[in-house]
Structure 1
Amino acid sequence: MFANSQPIQSSQQGPHARLREVVQKHLHTEFLRPPSQVSLSAFAGLAAKLSALPDPKPLILDTGCGTGVSTLALARQHADCHVIGIDKSELRLAQGQRLLQQPGAPKNASLLRCDLGDFWRLAAQAGWRVRHQYLLYPNPWPKPEHLKRRWHAHPVFPSLLALGGTLELRCNWRIYADEFAQALDCAGIVASVEEFIPEMALTPFEHKYQASAHTLWRCRALIPNR
């Protein structure tokens, strides 16, 4: 039952007609919903941990990291950086914490339970700048009426951009990748979208989608510091 993932089905056959209108609105409107107390406490704890490190390193974000498999893989690939995996699922992160405690696990990785939208805003407000941002297979919300639930059409999108760095989105729905590139274009950021075959699957989803013969897409861009 492993290689049985179904391709994404949607009545939407191309980038959403209202995408640019929605993105432009968010780029020029402040997102006022306050972060939750849980998110505030989680972010404060992470900030304190990073401040206490004897050898501060550039930051890499693995946003929506799930069980943290990708976080550990990225930490091994980027030994000169500190990789932070963020997810809201306590159950999935508990699996990741067990992986971090195994012999030979990388020491340059942290896992944080936090609402991702809250995290982006808190990090931007704190003036954080990162080297890389990875968004690996976010929920595509393929129904057209769910456009605003996609990260590139969400009010938090400007906070994501404020963190800068090299951004890489991976997904198995080309429309999501094309929309993300269009949203970046609205902010004056040049992005590329391409079909790709990973040398090594970073996430269980990527492994499953590849085994299920899905076409994989990635959107990449360099976000200038603002």
Structure 2
Amino acid sequence: MNEFTGDSRVISSNQVGLHEKLDEVVLKHLQHDFKKPYQTHTLAAFKEVEKWVEQQGKPIIFDSCCGVGESTYHIAKAHPEAIVLGMDKSADRLSKHPSDGEALIEELDNYRLLQVNLNDFWRLAVEANWTLSHHYLLYPNPWPKSKHLQRRWHGSAVFPAIIKLGGKFELRSNWFTYVEEFQRSLQLANVESCTEIYKTDHAITPFERKYWASGQQSLRLICDL
């Protein structure tokens, strides 16, 4: 259930601490390949953007669960040497790009927004032997109910693909348990990470802006995959 403070939600969960089955679930996924068939629309989107990626020949950055793509723009602006793919499952959210927040001051040609299923797109990128320079996962749906562990990215069967994609990885969430579980999941995969409270003068996603405006904090996890 969710309570409201100011303009944004404070996450409430029936789970206390790390999920009791976290290790069991993560280890199972690390030991078994995820073989679910690809969805047609994601396969088509990957094949189309793959041509652009090959033509650019630049370092690849993923902004996964990008929502309206505001963060994608800012990441692309901060990394002019790279190309950035902002991805979200919602066509409605992507249609609202740039966003109703901070105006995008200049046109950039080093990013693309894609409506895809990340369970498929990440695996397709691994199969294509892509290695990322950076991977951002900013404020994914936390699925805070205990029964929804396997809907969280670290609890899902696609988690090993995140690791295989490599790069400097950064996760942010206002639900600290999510970040702590992700850190434990990485540890089970022999990947060391660190966490810290994150705050800057300028939020780069609508969620980040709302959380901070209502007094909530963001916890950031960073690691080198």
TM-score (normalised: structure 2): 0.93
How far off its partner does 1:116 sit?
1.0
Matched residue of 1:96: which SS? coil
Structure 2 counterpart of 1:27: 30
Aligned residues of 2:174 and 2:216 also touching (Cα < 8 A): yes
Instruction: Between 197-206 and 102-111, report the one with greater CA deviation.
Output: 102-111
Structure 2 counterpart of 1:125: 127
Structure 2 counterpart of 1:112: 114
Matched residue of 2:184: which SS? helix
Structure 1 residue 163 corresponds to structure 2 residue 165: yes
Cα distance in 2 between the residues matched to 1:211 and 1:97? 20
How far off its partner does 1:52 sit?
2.5
Call closer, same or farther: CA 1:194–1:95 in 2, change over 3 Å. same
Call closer, same or farther: CA 1:2–1:65 in 2, change over 3 Å. farther
Call closer, same or farther: CA 1:2–1:202 in 2, change over 3 Å. farther
Structure 1 residue 173 corresponds to structure 2 residue 167: no
Q: Counterparts in 2 of 1:15-54, with a 5 A limit? A: 15-53=18-56
How far off its partner does 1:17 sit?
1.2
Q: Report percent identity of matched pairs.
A: 42
How far off its partner does 1:6 sit?
2.6
Structure 1 counterpart of 2:73: 72
How far off its partner does 1:4 sit?
2.1
Cα distance in 2 between the residues matched to 1:23 and 1:44? 30
Cα distance in 2 between the residues matched to 1:4 and 1:98? 17
Q: Counterparts in 2 of 1:202-221, with a 5 A limit? A: 202-221=204-223
How far off its partner does 1:147 sit?
0.4
Count of residue pairs brought into register by the alignment: 219
Matched residue of 1:111: which SS? strand
**1:194-220 Cα distance to aligned partner (Å, 9 max, x none):** 112123211000000000101210111
Structure 2 counterpart of 1:63: 64
Structure 2 counterpart of 1:13: 16
Aligned residues of 2:70 and 2:98 also touching (Cα < 8 A): no
Aligned residues of 1:26 and 1:154 also touching (Cα < 8 A): yes
Aligned residues of 1:97 and 1:111 also touching (Cα < 8 A): no
Q: What is the root-mean-square deviation of aligned Cα atoms in Å?
A: 1.8
Cα distance in 2 between the residues matched to 1:138 and 1:31? 21
Cα distance in 2 between the residues matched to 1:4 and 1:204? 11
Cα distance in 2 between the residues matched to 1:122 and 1:87? 15
Structure 1 counterpart of 2:142: 140
Cα distance in 1 between the residues matched to 2:99 and 2:185? 37
TM-score (normalised: structure 1): 0.92
2:53 partner amino acid? L
Query: Which residue, 151, 154, 157 being the options, matches 2:156?
Result: 154
Cα distance in 1 between the residues matched to 2:85 and 2:78? 13
Cα distance in 2 between the residues matched to 1:43 and 1:89? 16
Cα distance in 2 between the residues matched to 1:103 and 1:201? 15
Matched residue of 1:175: which SS? helix
2:112 partner amino acid? S
How far off its partner does 1:156 sit?
0.3
Any gaps of 5 or more consecutive residues in structure 2?
none
